[in-house]
Amino acid sequence: MSNKATVTCSLTGVLTDPKTHPVPVTIKQMAVSAKEAFDAGATIMHVHFRQQQDGKGHLPCWEPEVCLEIDQAIRAACPGVLLNYTTGVMGRDQNKPLILLEAGKPEMAALNAGSLNYLKTRSNGNWAWKPLMFNNPVEKVQEALDVMRANNIRPEFECFDIGIVRCVGMYQEVGMVENPTYNFVVGVASGMPADPDLLPLLLKYKKPGAHWQSTVIGRQEVWDFHRKTAELGGNLRTGLEDTFYLANGDRAKNNGQLIEEMVKMAREVGREIASPAEARAIELSSLAFSAEKKENTSYQGAHEIVL
């Protein structure tokens, strides 16, 4: 187990309304919030960009000129920070995120590694929202990896269930990626539960030696999973995208408070926190892609698949 843990702050997330929750949206807010998290120990910022017009701050933005201004403001506030851009879109068309990757060339980018029925129910027996398919077929994953390879961006594979964890291993086997980084996303109602007992099983099915971290979505119960992640040698992530609650149940006022809590917890289990330079070395030490791209188009026919 590596004693040094990198800490990621998920600054703002998708669609959360800044009118009702303390998420940063504007260029200044994003820089200030990142600085609070950076000073508390986060060396990687996972960034969702939002529209800047009044009343539009809950909506995503993919316009390079706006997003790069936010990128530059965060980097100016946090010397040596690594940026991890989101690429997530519900449908097949991911052209806008990929154009942004080419323009910004962040060190890392989140890549949804498989499809998921995105569901949630209410206590009255109704759907919390109309059932959705978070659609991420292999050709969509490959398309994103091609852009990341060309721009020297390290993919972070977002895994919402154990089957997707196993898919990432197959991506390595067929040459789509050489050294994958896994992000175990737990707490989504129709995905993996935020149950610490699940984590050893996930580690059993990831590729040996691969970097990994946990994204834990929920209320104060997320902290038990974070603690298990720290104990088992994983890298750490929290922020207002993932939770609004500290371990004692209090609502966090900002990202800095959440990162302070994470750093304190990590040290309680004997982990030290990587500096910006150490985080850069840890996260980017191995090549995500081999020097030569392996072409693999040999999908099995239906008659060859044994169920």
Contact 60, 51 (CB under 8 A): yes
Task: State the residue range of the domain holding 78.
Answer: 4-304
Residue 127's pLDDT band (cuts 50, 70, 90): very high
- Indicate which CATH number applies to the domain containing 205: 3.20.20.70
Give me the mean pLDDT over the 107-126 stretch.
Answer: 96
Distances (CA, A) of 286 to 1, 164, 177, 181, 232: 17, 22, 12, 10, 21
State the average pLDDT for the chain: 93
The answer to whether residues 5 and 266 touch, using CB atoms and an 8 Å cutoff, is yes
Distance CA(238)–CA(8), nearest Å, equals: 7
Phi/psi class of residue 162: alpha, beta or left (left: φ > 0; alpha: ψ in -120 to 50)?
alpha
Which is nearest to 239 in space by CA: 221, 256, 225, 226?
256
What are the pLDDT digits (tens) for 258-269?
999 999 999 999
Both tokens of 237, joined, read: 């992530």
Structurally, the chain folds into a number of domains equal to 1
pTM greater than 0.95? no
Cβ neighbour number for residue 268 with a 10 Å cutoff = 11
Q: In what order do the strands lie in the sheet with 44-47?
A: 212-216, 181-186, 154-159, 108-112, 82-85, 44-47, 7-10, 236-238
172-220 per-position pLDDT tens digit: 999 999 999 999 999 999 999 999 999 999 999 999 999 999 999 999 9
**Both tokens assigned to 298:** 């040999």
